[in-house]
Amino acid sequence: MSRLFLPTFILYLILPGCSFSQTVKKEENPVIHWHSFGEALELCKTQPRLIFVDVYAPWCGYCKQMDKRTFSNKEIALYMNAHFYCVKFNAEGMDTIRINGQTLVNTAPVNGNAKTHPFAFSLLDGRLGYPSLVFLDATGKRLQYLQSFLKPSDFEPYLRFMGEGAYKTTSFDAYFKQRNEGK
C-alpha cells in the first residue's frame, strides 16, 4: 500500500501544477477572439454586445502594426474579449456578408486586381483608409469608426468610451476630458 501512496502522491502534486501552469500561461498571453461577421451577429441574438470590426487590407503596413502592437496587447485583448464581439474583415476579401436582408459579395474583376468589398465600402461611407476600426451595435448598425493606426494607449480610451456605453450620452471629447481630469 505504501508503494502506491508515494507515486500517487507525487502525481497528485505534479498534475494540478501542470494544468495550472497551462491555465496561467493562457492568461498571461490573452488573444482577441476574432469571429466572422455572421458569427458576431448570431452571438448578439443570445447575448447582445457591441461588435468591433477591424477593417484591414492585406498589403497595409499600419494594419500589420495594429495586429502586432495593439491587438496583441494584454489589456486591450482582455477588454475587447469582455465587451465586444470582434471581427477582422479583409476589405478586399471574398466573404459573403448577410445583413438586414441583404447579401453583400465582392465581385473581383476579371484581371485579378483587388476590389473593395461592398461591406467595407458601406461601413466606411466610401472613405477607404486602413486600418479602419468600426463599432457597431448588436444589430450591425454603425455607431462610430476611426481610421488610423492607434497604439494601445491611444486605442484604450476609445474602447472604454464604447464599451462603457458613454457614447450614448456624451461626446468622445467630453468623455476623454472628464477621464483625464479624474486621473
**Structural domain boundaries in the chain:** 29-181
Set of cell numbers at residue 177:
476630458
pLDDT tens by residue, 1-60: 444 434 433 333 344 444 333 333 445 678 999 999 999 999 999 999 999 999 999 999
H/E stretch holding 16: helix 2-28
Question: With bands split at pLDDT 50, 70 and 90, how would you rate the model's confidence at 178?
Answer: confident
69 vs 106, residue with greater confidence = 69
Number of other CB atoms surrounding residue 100 within 10 Å: 8
The gap between the terminal CA atoms of the chain, to the nearest Å, is 63
* Assessment of whether the complete model's pTM goes beyond 0.85: no
Which residue did the predictor score with more confidence, 95 or 81?
81
Q: What is the pLDDT of residues 100-137, one digit of tens each?
A: 888 988 887 655 667 899 999 999 999 999 999 999 99
Cα–Cα distance measured from residue 175 to residue 182, given in angstroms and rounded to the nearest whole number: 11
Cα separation, 58 vs 30, whole angstroms? 23
Report whether 133 contacts 125 (CB < 8 A).
Answer: no
Q: Residue 179: is it exposed, middle or buried by C-beta count within 10 angstroms (0-12/13-18/19+)?
A: middle
pLDDT at 30: 86
With cell 491587438, the residue in question is: 71
Fold of 29-181: Glutaredoxin (3.40.30)
**For range 152-167, the mean pLDDT:** 96
Burial of 118 (0-12, 13-18, 19+ CB in 10 A): middle
Is 109:65 a contact under the CB 8 Å cutoff? no
Dihedral sign (CA 9, 11, 17, 20): negative
Closest CA to 95 of 60, 120, 112: 120
